[in-house]
């Protein structure tokens, strides 16, 4: 199975970082990295990964997962939040995946992420798309929720115990990244069509999974399909 749009971009970024560092392991900082969904595979791929997260439960799961696959020596867990990041950090790649939706101040958090990257380094931001959230609720028949989400400026389902404080659209995300001082090197969709195709279609048709992966990749950078992906992904570049 070929890697998805986000993994492709991160793989290329880490290969370039490894070259810059003369073959030394790239340094990755995963902010809000939780239980290690991104961090553990990156450690397995040979990166030195620091995870910063306020949740002790998530960090305990991270520790267990890293131990299970033998990469504890490449994973450092720090209990803390975006306020605790070093302003002149040394990470080749900073991840902020699924975190800008839950922090109190998304602008301040993104500025902290940018500050933690080395000059010339990259910040990878993955966020929930507010318009995809509307579509997915409508498709599920939750029409009142879909309308309330559409009308809420922050893209939050207020009063419904929404775990997210906000969701993003392309224009808002781009503006936020630019305001943090990063250059937007790439803005793509993640989960454009793959989140919509029922598993039964993939099970019933040989080759369908591969065809879907190819379609997903092709759609990930093409507006307007990109703009309604379940998640939006930005690779921001810090000036050298």
Ligand X SMILES: C[S@@+](CC[C@H](N)C(=O)[O-])C[C@H]1O[C@@H](n2cnc3c(N)ncnc32)[C@H](O)[C@@H]1O
Q: Which residues bind ligand X (CB under 6 A)?
A: 31-34, 37-38, 53-55, 58, 81-82, 97-99, 102-103
Query: Nearer Cβ to ligand X, position 49 or 120?
Result: 49
Q: How far apart are CA 107 and CA 234, in angstroms?
A: 15
Query: Nearer Cβ to ligand X, position 41 or 185?
Result: 41
Q: How far is the CB of 141 from ligand X (least distance, A)?
A: 25
Query: Nearer Cβ to ligand X, position 160 or 218?
Result: 160
User: Residue ranges of the alpha helices (H) in 160-232?
Assistant: 170-179, 199-204, 208-219
In the three-class reduction of DSSP (H, G, I as helix; E, B as strand; rest coil), residue 183 is classed as: strand
Q: In terms of Cα–Cα distance, which of 197, 187, 192, 180 is closest to 218?
A: 192
Residue 73 has which token pair? 């020596």
In this structure, the number of other CB atoms found within 10 A of the CB of residue 40 comes to 24
Query: Nearer Cβ to ligand X, position 72 or 102?
Result: 102
Query: Nearer Cβ to ligand X, position 56 or 120?
Result: 56
Query: Nearer Cβ to ligand X, position 17 or 116?
Result: 116
Q: How far apart are CA 89 and CA 68, in angstroms?
A: 29
Integer CA distances (angstroms), 106 to 46, 100, 161, in order: 30, 5, 20
Looking at residue 26, what DSSP letter applies? P
Q: How far apart are CA 149 and CA 26, in angstroms?
A: 39
Q: How far is the CB of 33 from ligand X (least distance, A)?
A: 5
Query: Nearer Cβ to ligand X, position 4 or 20?
Result: 4
Q: How far is the CB of 100 from ligand X (least distance, A)?
A: 9
Parallel, antiparallel, or unpaired for β 91-97 and 27-31? Answer: parallel
Residue 188 has which token pair? 């793509």
In this structure, the number of other CB atoms found within 10 A of the CB of residue 213 comes to 16
């Amino acid at each position: 199975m070929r890697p998805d749009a986000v993994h492709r971009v991160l793989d290329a970024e880490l290969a370039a970082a490894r070259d810059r560092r003369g073959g030394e392991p790239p340094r990755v900082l995963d902010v809000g990295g939780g239980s290690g969904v991104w961090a553990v595979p990156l450690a397995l791929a040979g990166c030195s990964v620091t995870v910063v997260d306020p949740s002790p439960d998530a960090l305990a799961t991270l520790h267990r997962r890293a131990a299970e696959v033998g990469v504890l020596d490449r994973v450092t867990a720090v209990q803390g939040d975006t306020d605790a990041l070093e302003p002149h950090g040394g990470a080749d790649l900073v991840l902020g995946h699924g975190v800008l939706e839950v922090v109190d101040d998304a602008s301040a958090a993104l500025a902290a992420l940018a500050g933690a990257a080395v000059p010339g380094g990259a910040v990878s931001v993955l966020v929930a798309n507010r318009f995809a959230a509307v579509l997915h609720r409508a498709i599920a028949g939750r029409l009142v929720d879909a309308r309330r989400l559409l009308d809420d400026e922050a893209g939050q389902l207020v009063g419904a115990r929404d775990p997210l404080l906000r969701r993003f659209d392309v224009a808002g995300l781009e503006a936020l990244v630019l305001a943090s001082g990063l250059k937007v090197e790439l803005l793509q969709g993640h989960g454009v069509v793959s989140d919509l195709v029922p598993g039964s279609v993939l099970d019933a048709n040989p080759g369908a999974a591969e065809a879907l992966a190819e379609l997903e990749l092709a759609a990930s950078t093409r507006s307007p399909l990109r703009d309604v992906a379940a998640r939006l992904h930005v690779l921001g570049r810090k000036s050298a």
